[in-house]
Amino acid sequence: MTEFVRLEVDGGIGVIRLSRPPMNALNTQVQEELRAAAHEATAREDVRAVVVYGGEKVFAAGADIKEMADMDYVGMSARARDLSSAFDAVARIPKPVVAAITGYALGGGCELALTADLRVCAEDAKLGQPEIRLGIIPGAGGTQRLPRLVGPAKAKDLIFTGRMVDAKEALEIGLVDKVVPADQVLTAAMEMVKSYAKGPAQALRAAKAAIDGGLEMDLASGLAWESQLFAGLFATADKQIGMDAFVAKEKPEFTGK
C-alpha cells in the first residue's frame, strides 16, 4: 500500500491522487509513489484515460526543500536522475492524461502538471517555477517541457524570475488549457477525459506517441514515424469498428482493441 499517492479507477478513468497534507510536497517517497502509480495506470487495461489531482486545496507546492537543503552535489547528482525519471513515467503514460490543478502548482508541482497532455486549473490557481530563488533551476523537466509548451522566451521569463502566474495569464500563454471555478476542477478534468475513456485506445496511444515522439525528430523522420503508426492501426479491431460505423452512419462503440 502506498501512503501519499494512489490510483483510483472508475469507468475507464484512473485518477492519480496526491495526498500529503498540507501542500503535497514532493519528497522522495511521493516521487517514487508517483512512478508506481504511473506504471500501474500504464499497465491496467481498465484504465483508458488518466487525471492527476492533488485535492481540493492544492495540486503540489513543490519539492520538499527540507529534504534537499543538506544535500550536496554528489548526493543530488545521483538523486536527480531518479527525480526526473519518476516524472517522466507520468509523461510516458500511453493514454490521455489531464492535470486537475487547484491552489498552487509550483516548482515540482508545475513540472508534474507539465507531464500531462492537457491542464485544467482553478480560477484562483497559481503556477510557476520558483527554483531560481533558491539558487537552483528546475530539475524534473521544467527547463525542457515548459519551453516546448509556451515557447522559449516565455519559459525563460518564468524560470529566470521565478515569478508565479495566475490562471488568466496561464491560459493566455498556453500553460493551461481551461480555467474553471475552484470547486469544479476535478469535474471539468473528468469531463475532458470521459470521451477518451470510451474512445479507440490504440489510436489514442498512437496519436500521443506520434506527437510526443515527432517533437524530438526532424520533419522527415517525424513523418515516417507517423506513417508507421498510422499503418499499424489498420491491424486493430477499433479501426474496423470505426470505419464500419462510418459507412453505416452509426455511432462506433470502440473496444480498445
The pLDDT averaged over each successive group of 10 residues in the chain (257 residues) is 92 97 95 97 97 97 86 88 94 98 97 98 98 95 97 98 98 98 97 94 96 96 97 97 96 93
- Note the pLDDT of residue 162: 97
Of 48, 51, 46, the closest CA to residue 6 belongs to: 51
Please state the separation of Cα 45 from the chain's center in Å: 19
Nearest-angstrom CA–CA distance, 204 and 196: 8
For residue 22, whether the previous peptide bond is cis, meaning omega lies within 30 degrees of 0, is: yes
> Residue 204 in contact with residue 95, Cβ under 8 Å?
yes
Backbone angles phi, psi at 249, to 5 degrees: 60, 45
For the chain, list the strands marked E by DSSP.
5-10, 13-18, 49-53, 97-101, 104-106, 118-122, 126-128, 164-166, 178-180
Domains of the chain with bracketed CATH: 5-197 (3.90.226.10), 201-247 (1.10.12)
Q: What is the pLDDT of residue 120?
A: 98
Catalytic residues: 63, 108, 111, 131
Q: Do the beta carbons of residue 31 and residue 60 sit within 8 Å?
A: no
Q: For 235, which DSSP code?
A: G
pTM of the model: 0.94
